Amino acid sequence: MTKILKNNNTLLKFIQCLIIVFLVLTIGGCNIEVNKDVLNNSKENVTEKGKLKVHYIDVGQGDSILLQFEDKNMLIDAGTNASAKNLIKYLNNVAVKKIDFLIATHPHEDHIGGMDDIIKNFNIGTMYMPKKTANTKTFKDVVSAMKSKNIKAKEPVAGEKFNFGDTVCEIMAPNKSKYDNINNYSIVVKVTHNNKSFLFAGDAEGVSEKEILKKGFNISADVLKLGHHGSHSSTTNEFLKRVKPKYAVVCAGRGNDYGHPHKEIVGKLRETGVKLYRTDENGTIVATSDGKNISFNCKPGSYNRGKK
Ligand SMILES: [Zn+2]
């Protein structure tokens, strides 16, 4: 009798063990599956918690910059008409579905060329656009895409701040309502992520830079997206001194017709020890900030002037 009881106890213990092993394997296995899904297979757009990713997308001679903070996206400009297809492909690859903030810095084709396709292909949150129209097919295409999705753009007001993920964004330009040159209508925005900041200058030229300085905005930034593709029309000495960037990024096409970036600008950067990243040499550049440090997905480019 006791022997049977003892055997039963052993059997019970064995079954208990089996159940525990089974539970650990199935529950643990499930967890591993779920995590793998999120990391590899899911098209969920989630960047690492607390990190800001800035993609300076290679759209040839034009600008398009994607900022991602966890599940939030912001797109500053949308490249040219010709680059629209590739831009959409890029955004799909990094699982963008909704663009929470869409900024059209100014109505030139190299900045708003792909904007109509972006509006048609993605859900759009808040859109910013300067109060300046252009009598071009490209501009009309953007306006009709906006109408078709009932999007009304907000006019930028210098000094206005808004939150994007855990960052604070501040609009610094335009500071006037009328300019001779369309480039100076460019929306200039600074994005601060704890101790690190990024400045996006659109195609703002010296005139706008002077106004920004006069306004007394805190324009110091770790990474400066050079105004107007590194043209000598922008990045004046005083502006560069006050931004005091560690890194500069130029968005320009390989062998572009304008010789961007110009030799005066690359010269200044070299002299002041600013590391230069450039889409004409590096392709798409991705900077990641954890709020304390910024890292890049590639090595800096050269200080060579743009070759025509
Ligand atoms: Zn431009």
Model confidence band, residue 34 (pLDDT cutoffs 50, 70, 90) = very low
**Ligand 1 mean position, distance from CA 287 (Å):** 21
Positive/negative CA dihedral, 26, 32, 38, 40: negative
CA distance 162 to 145: 25
For residue 231, the model assigns a pLDDT of: 98
* 31 Cα–ligand 1 center, Å: 48
Contacts of 242 (CB under 8 A, 6+ apart): 213, 219, 220
Is 239 in contact with 212 (CB distance < 8 Å)?
Answer: yes
- Residues lying with their CB under 5 A of ligand 1, a single-atom ion: 110, 203
Q: Can you give the pLDDT at residue 6?
A: 53
- pLDDT category at 308 given cuts 50, 70, 90 is confident
Q: Would you state the structure tokens that stand for residue 167, as one six-digit string?
A: 């960052």
Chain segment 51-92, per-residue pLDDT in tens: 999 999 999 999 999 999 999 999 999 999 999 999 999 999
> 206: CA distance to ligand 1 center in Å?
15
Q: What is the DSSP string of 153-207?
A: PBPP-TT-EEEETTEEEEEEE--SS--SSGGGG--EEEEEETTEEEEE-TT--HH
